[in-house]
Each structure stands twice: as structure tokens, then as C-alpha cells.
Chains A and B, each alone.
Chain A
Amino acid sequence: MNQLPTLPGMIPAIQEALNARIALLLRSPLIARLATPPAEEEPDDDYATLFSLFEAAARPLRSRPPRPSTWQVDPSTEAATARVDIDYDDRWRGYERDVREAVEGCVESQVLLLTDAQRLLLERSPEEFQELQPPPRAVELLGFRVERVGGHDRVVELTVAEAPEPFEQIRHLAIVANLIPLRRQLAALQVVERLPPGSPLRCLLGLEPADLLPAAPLPAGHIAEGHPLPGERLDPFQAECIAKALRTPHFALIQGPPGSGKTTVIGGIIRRAVKAGQRVLVVSPTHVAVDNVVEKLVPQAESQAEDPLPAHSLPVRFSSRKTKLSPLALQYWVSSKKQHRAATLSLRLEARLRERSPLARRLYDQVDDTLPGRAPLSAALAATCQVLCGTPIGLLSAAELKGAEPGSFDLLIVDEVSKLTLPEFLAIAVMAKRWVLVGDPAQLPPYNNAAESGCTLDPLLDARLELACSLAGLIDSVPPHSRGRLRLVAVVRDPAGALPIIQAQLAGLDPAGAQVRVCEPKALESAMTSLGEGSVKLLVERGLSLPRPDFASGARLVEDRHRAGALLHDIAFQVFHDWPWAERAGIELSTRGRRKTLARVLPTVEALRLANPEADHAEHLLLSAETYALNTVSVYDWLAGVPVEAFDVSPLVELAQVMAPLQALREAVAPFTGLLRRQYRMHSSLSRVPRELFYFGEALQDGKPDTGKGSRVRLLQVQGRGEGEENRAEAEAIVALLITVAQGHSSAGERPLVLVITPYRAQERLLRAAVDKAGASLDSLEVEVCTMDRCQGREAAYVFFSLTRNRASPFLDAPKRMNVALTRAQEGLFLVGDIEAFRREADRARRKGGPPRMSLLARVVEAYDHQGGAK
């Protein structure tokens, strides 16, 4: 099967998008292995039979003594560690980005371990590599460490989930997209296809009219919706949200700004649902959010009688491994691995049985945890648990869900839903009957790997167009005064057909002396000769197999392709996550980044038309937009609706049209949508600026009484020289400040949590190294370092924000990202960096008159200055 059957009522664009996904899946070696089990070879004649006998007899003669394994296995976790050389002369050379970043992007994903022969095949013929039988071994990458040799990153120490025997030696690492989530999403879509008419999930996908959704809320029953349970304190908004979630016949949306009690509301919903005998799934794309829910549900000490959850309803925290779990959540952890399943429950059971039964005490004195076996009581306990928690994909690995029928659970609660796309949601949603989506659309959107999203567009986008975009992107990335040194060769199948597309893409660029040749593979040598001596960059059309150029030739293969798909991804991202904010706020941000993106995309769209003269342009665009909408827009935005009417820029209109049929669905869900307005996390001086900038005064009102006057925000000027995405002076200043505070705090006893946030991974590493170096000097504080994108769902007493660079970038101009960074602190926020540079930018913008155009960071600095007390 390489296509889904035509589904009655399915939007053609969705059908096409699904088919594209299937095609992608079928190309993967993992799926190929599953789909086509190796056939047993049957000898077709007597000679062949004889030969196979000889071959079997000779096998021992060929075998070599096994070499020692390069893998070191940790017996407690089964994680295996090995060192891999990075061979710069081939596999990694073309990558423009840092090796460290490339590997880091794969943590928690599947990586392939290749023999030398397999690696060579991948280099020479990717198509044949895809067909390899048996396929290369795929393992889950848990972590890595890079070692520098001779001034370069040369060795990676990898840690993988389990020892990849029988491979004794590995030398190279190949990175592949993680196809497991994709496979599960596909399975879920097929389940939706089989659901009965009128099912809410079918309406969600637009397969059926939303008029079929019941409008009346469920009867109140005996669930104590509006009344607080013992030990529970709810504000009116929280109580209303709980009631809406419990009484929705299909979907409920709960929107809550930072610190507004989203987790409290989730806990309230779960407790009441469990009391009514319902089974509940709780998922979030982040481990932190899942753990927050678990911690909200369980008492600090199990002996506490106030626990309103019955014993069998205690949450079970599913995760493939425990390294990322909080200490309390770890007590409720159950691994998705068979041998570890119910291990935690076993310990809890043991504690209870030891208390009550002398026989149990005697038997447990003889326990050996290294012996295998699935404990029947613990397993049964896990199987009947009413509350299962985990990440959407992690939870689907649990045996309890793998074997369950769709709709086995009464309720699915999704936290941090702004980070979950519709396909990701569907993968787990099919297991439930009703759905409660909790999140904050003003926080971070779904994470998307542009390269992975791009590859789903491969079947849709012309390879020549992609090459043209790569070429334009490469020239655009070089300043005009340096372009004279650029010498580029584009290798294509059909130079005559590709030339107009490339010319259209380069039309808006000033080549400034850059030399570009377009040729077919056999003319490569003459094209290079025509460019003369020196370094040449080669760009090869997707699907063309070209031997890697000899190092001595001076040619470099550009592998980090600037995919056309990535550009469309940018568009979808901008449309759905930034623009409405700017529109509503009446603020015109620095338009440099957006204009640049549009300038790059509009030729792309034009080139689409050129590349496909016969194709229906609008339909093609619609298909692209649909694919991206599915892959980038959060399920919350899908259900709640994003105000897209204001767009007048083609091709964005098409996106709005895609969304339009969902209006009826949004109207059906509207009665079950709640907003949490009050925040209980931040000191009042910390919530003011985010309230005005990101919530327009409509939410994030202070729920706690103002405990102290004065501002708890400080803007600290550090005028260090930032290099790229690192700033050593800032890192040193922050750590010096922390050491001073730690010394003054030593006698207090408790260790307040300090979160150091930075936009960039490079600065994160620098900060972490500086904190590690400080060692015992920081013992009286609990210091954690993370990037802006990783800090969502977390909170800390004090937050230091290392700005790192002294000018804005499109990355930092994203309001959602900035909102997350500025709303983590409970008691104090310190912005550290070249503050004066942003003040100057704001002053310049004000002096020009009219609506001020400035970067978001300049606006933030200006707002804190205006609030007073920050200097």
C-alpha cells in the first residue's frame, strides 16, 4: 500500500497530505523492514541445495574472533555509551552548522548506527541505502558529549537507550528523522477514518459537519463541579473552567496565562472525574508539565489521609526512562519497558505488604531485583489505574494503551497544548471519548524541525525549485561586498528547464560578482574548469546521485540545503503565531525580519507556478498550506481559531481559506471555553509588563494581594563583546552576582531556585560551564540554566535573563518566546546585557515620531523603565 484509499468526505488536500506522509514512511528503512519481512530463500535446483550445504559447512571457517565491544553498558539503566569519531573529511564536512548542534537535535530521537559499508552506500546511493535488507540498526539517542581534539570537535561520546549488539564497533553516526511519532499519527488517522459518523474527532478534521456535535452540556451528575474538594482552594475562574471541562460532550478549551493555576484546574478535573469512576489520560508535550500534574495529584507523604484520590487512582507516570522526571514524579514512574513496568508500583506495594504481613516481610527479605519477571499484583495494579500520565508519544508506548480499544478512556487532558500540533494530538486523542485542552496560546507554539517538516513537502515541491531556493539563500547569506568571491555550481538533471526557475529566484538579489554555473552531472568538470582555480561550492538537485568531490579539488558539497519547504514553514509560523499579536497591539515591530522572509517566499510561490505550469496554482498552494497548517499550528489554535481575516497578502489568504470550514466547529466548542484571568506566581511588579504587552490587560491580573512595594525587576548593564551567540562577559557577570548572593544567603538554610535563561544554546553552554566552575560557592542556591524555549512550564524564585546580543533578531522578536522568558520568576527578574543599546534604539524610534518601530526587546526595556525602579 502506498496510498490511503480515497476516503469519502475527506478534504482532498488532507488526503494528499496523508499520502505524502505514507510515501515518506514507506521510504524509511524502519518501515521497509516491517512491511517486507525477508523472504526465505528457496533453492530452485539441486545444485543450489548442494551449494547452500557447502556454504553452511564453510561458515565456521569464515568467522572471525569477536572484537571487543566499544559499548559500555550501565546495568542499572541499560543505557550504553560509546565513542564515535567524527570524520571531517567526508560525512560532516558539508554541514554549515556546528556538529554539536546537529547531534543535540537528535537527542530523544532515533539515530542509525552504520557499518563502514553501509555508510559508504549512504554516501554513494541514498536510494539503494533505503532498500537495505536488513536495515541499519536504529537506536534511541539519550545524550552525548563532544570532545575537542586538535582544536576541533572530533569525537562524540554517545549514550543510547540500549546496547546495540551485535554491532561491536561503530565509527560513524547518521541522523534520520524520528519516524515513530509519524507512524503513530498515521495509525490514529486511520482510526479516525473508522470512527462512527458524528464522532467529534471526525468533525475536528472536517470530515463531517460540526453541526453533528451535541450542543447541550452533559448532566451535572454527582460530580461536585462547583464545590471545592477538601484541601482545595479555587477562584471563580478556576471553578468555572473545571465545570466546563467536566460537562463538555466533546471538547473543552481552557486558556490560562502563566501562574494562573492551570495545573490546579487539571488536578481538580481529574479528582472529580475519578470520583465519578472515569478513566483519565493526562498528556503534555513536555515532561515538566506532566510532572507538575503528578505532583499536584499526590500527597507529599502517602500516609496522609486527606488524599482525595483513592489508592487505585493514584497517577501512573509512564516514561521510557526516568532521567528527566522530578523526584516526586519518579515515585509514580512506570517504564514503558517490559522488564521495568510496574517496578515503582512494586516498591510501593512492597512497603504496604511489609507493614501488614509477616509472610511478606519474610519473602521480601529474599528479593533479588535483578531477576526477571512481571510481578502479577503490580502489573494488575498498573493495568487498572485510572489516571495515566505521560508525553503523548511516550504514553502510547505503554502496553495498557497499545492493547486498548479507541475510546477506552473517558477523558483526555492535554496540558501545554499550545505546543501540540493537530496530528500529534490525534495520535493519543483516539484513545478517549472527551477532550480537555489546557494551555496558553500566548506561549510557545509547537516545535518544528524545519528540515523534517520540509521533507514532508518533497513530494509536493519541485526539486529544481528547492535547489533555486538553496542557491538564493546561500548568496543572500553572504554580504554583498564579499559575494565577488562566491563561485557556485548547481548540478541539475535538466539545465534548460532549471535555468528559468533559478533566474526567477535570483531576480531580487544583487549577485555582486558571484559566479554561478548550472550544469548536468556529466558537465560538472568543465563547469568547474570554467570557474578557474579556487574553492567552489556545489549544490546538487535532490535525487541526483553525485560522487563526493575529491578534497584536493577545492570543491565543497553544500549539504545544508535551504529547503523551499523551510521557507513556507516560516510563513506559516509567522502567520499563526506573531502577526495577530502585532495587529491587536497596534504595534509595528521591526519589520526587517518579516519583510525579508516575505521577500524570499514570494518568489518561491512564483517559482512554484513556473515549475508547474500545468498544475493548478491555487490547488498546489492550498496543498502546501494545508500540510503546513497541519504540521505547525497548535490544536488549540485549530479549535479556537486564529484571527486571520486581516491578511491581505497573497499567499497568506489561502491559509485563511483552509481555516474557514472550521468556523462551525469553533462555534460548537465556544460554550466550553474558559479563561483563567488571575495569576498567583509573580510578584505584582513582575506581572505588569507581560500583562500589558502580551495579554492586553485582559488576563494575568494579580490574584495575590500586593505584598511589597517597589519593583522586583532590575536591568543590569553589562557591555561585553558578544561573539555570535555567546557572551562571556555576561556569563561571568551573572555567576559573579550569584556567588555574591550565595555567600550572603549561606546561613538561611533553604536553597531558593535560580533559573538562568538565555535565548541561545551556545550561551547556555557557556553559562552552564561557568556555574559548574563556581562549584561549592553556589551551594546555598539551586541554580539551573536553560534556553528560552526550554523554560516553558517552569518557575523559579529568581530569574536571570542573559540577553547575549545587543541587537534584536527575528528569533527574539517572537512575542510568545519573550512572554515565556519574562513570566518564570516569582520574586525577582534580572535582565543582564547591553541594556543601553536597547534604550538607544527605543529613543531613536520615539524621536522619529509616528507609531514607533522598534524591536520587541527594546519595547520590553522601555516598558520596564517606564514602570520605574528597574534601573
Chain B
Amino acid sequence: MTKLSREEIETLLLLEAIGDGCPVGELAGRLGLCASLSAAVGEAARGLSGLVEEGEAGFRLSAEGRLTLKAIGL
């Protein structure tokens, strides 16, 4: 079984939650965290440069992000 680092796991969970686009406030809900964590989650999403793009409607996956998710079968 391939081992994953916490960095990879949290990144994948974020990407999965972001999906095709999602307002920052909803991210925390998708991840099963309380709403007050939304600021932190938004901050984390901004850190995923290259994998996530931020638009007016919220975050959405970049082409590279999609490939990443596809590569691990999500």
C-alpha cells in the first residue's frame, strides 16, 4: 500500500472538497469541520498554488489539480 504524508492527505482532502468550485465558507462544512474554521480552510486553499484557482465564485480545481485527483483514483 502506498504511504502518504499528512501534507498529501490534507491536500487531497482539500482538493476533493473544492471539487468544481466551492465558496470558502462551505469548505469547512464539506470537510466536516465547524464553520468557524472556514477562514483557516480558505487560507489553506490559497496555499495550494497550481492545484487550485480562486475566482469570484470561490475556489476551483486547476487542470493540474484535476490530474492529481485522477491519479489517485478520486
Interface residues of A (CB under 8 A from B): 310-312, 346, 349-350, 352-353, 355-357, 359-360, 363-364, 366-369, 371-381, 383-384
- 29 contacts across the A-B interface (CB closer than 8 A): A310-B36, A311-B34, A312-B37, A312-B39, A352-B32, A352-B33, A355-B32, A356-B31, A356-B32, A357-B13, A357-B32, A359-B13, A360-B13, A360-B32, A363-B4, A363-B9, A366-B9, A367-B3, A367-B4, A367-B9, A371-B3, A371-B5, A375-B9, A376-B7, A376-B10, A377-B10, A380-B43, A381-B40, A384-B39
Interface residues of B (CB under 8 A from A): 1-14, 16, 31-34, 36-37, 39-41, 43-45, 47-48, 74
- Rounded to whole angstroms, the CA-CA distance of A376 and B51 in the bound complex is 13
Interface of B is mostly: helix
Given contacts A353-B31, A377-B10, contact A359 B16 (CB under 8 A): yes
Specify which of A312, A359, A375, A384 is in contact with B7 (CB 8 Å cutoff): A375
- Rounded to whole angstroms, the CA-CA distance of A371 and B10 in the bound complex is 13
Known contacts A375-B9, A376-B47; 10 further A-B pairs (Cβ under 8 A): A311-B34, A357-B32, A360-B9, A363-B9, A363-B12, A368-B4, A373-B8, A377-B44, A378-B6, A380-B40
Smallest Cβ distance from A276 to chain B, in angstroms? 15
Specify which of A352, A368, A379 is in contact with B3 (CB 8 Å cutoff): A368
Most buried by B among A356, A357, A377, A381: A377
- Rounded to whole angstroms, the CA-CA distance of A212 and B45 in the bound complex is 44
Interface of A is mostly: helix
Taking a contact as CB atoms under 8 Å apart, the answer to whether B4 and A366 are in contact is: yes
Smallest Cβ distance from B32 to chain A, in angstroms? 3
Q: Which residues of A contact B48 (CB under 8 A)?
A: 376
Q: Which residues of A contact B41 (CB under 8 A)?
A: 377, 380
Smallest Cβ distance from B13 to chain A, in angstroms? 6
Smallest Cβ distance from A818 to chain B, in angstroms? 47
Given contacts A364-B9, A367-B3, contact A376 B14 (CB under 8 A): yes
Taking a contact as CB atoms under 8 Å apart, the answer to whether A373 and B3 are in contact is: no
Most buried by B among A310, A357, A375: A375
- Rounded to whole angstroms, the CA-CA distance of A350 and B13 in the bound complex is 11
Nearest chain A residue, comparing its CB with the CB of B34: A311
Smallest Cβ distance from A254 to chain B, in angstroms? 29
Top 8 A-B residue pairs of the complex, sorted by shortest distance between their CB atoms? A356-B32, A373-B7, A371-B5, A368-B3, A380-B44, A380-B43, A376-B44, A375-B6
Smallest Cβ distance from B42 to chain A, in angstroms? 8
Q: Which residues of B contact A350 (CB under 8 A)?
A: 6
Specify which of B6, B14, B16, B37 is in contact with A367 (CB 8 Å cutoff): B6
Specify which of B3, B10, B34, B39 is in contact with A378 (CB 8 Å cutoff): B10
Taking a contact as CB atoms under 8 Å apart, the answer to whether B14 and A381 are in contact is: no
- Rounded to whole angstroms, the CA-CA distance of A372 and B7 in the bound complex is 8
- Rounded to whole angstroms, the CA-CA distance of A384 and B39 in the bound complex is 8
Taking a contact as CB atoms under 8 Å apart, the answer to whether A311 and B47 are in contact is: no
Taking a contact as CB atoms under 8 Å apart, the answer to whether B36 and A353 are in contact is: no
Q: Which residues of A contact B8 (CB under 8 A)?
A: 371, 373
Q: Which residues of A contact B37 (CB under 8 A)?
A: 311-312, 381
Taking a contact as CB atoms under 8 Å apart, the answer to whether A375 and B40 are in contact is: no
Q: Which residues of B contact A378 (CB under 8 A)?
A: 6, 10
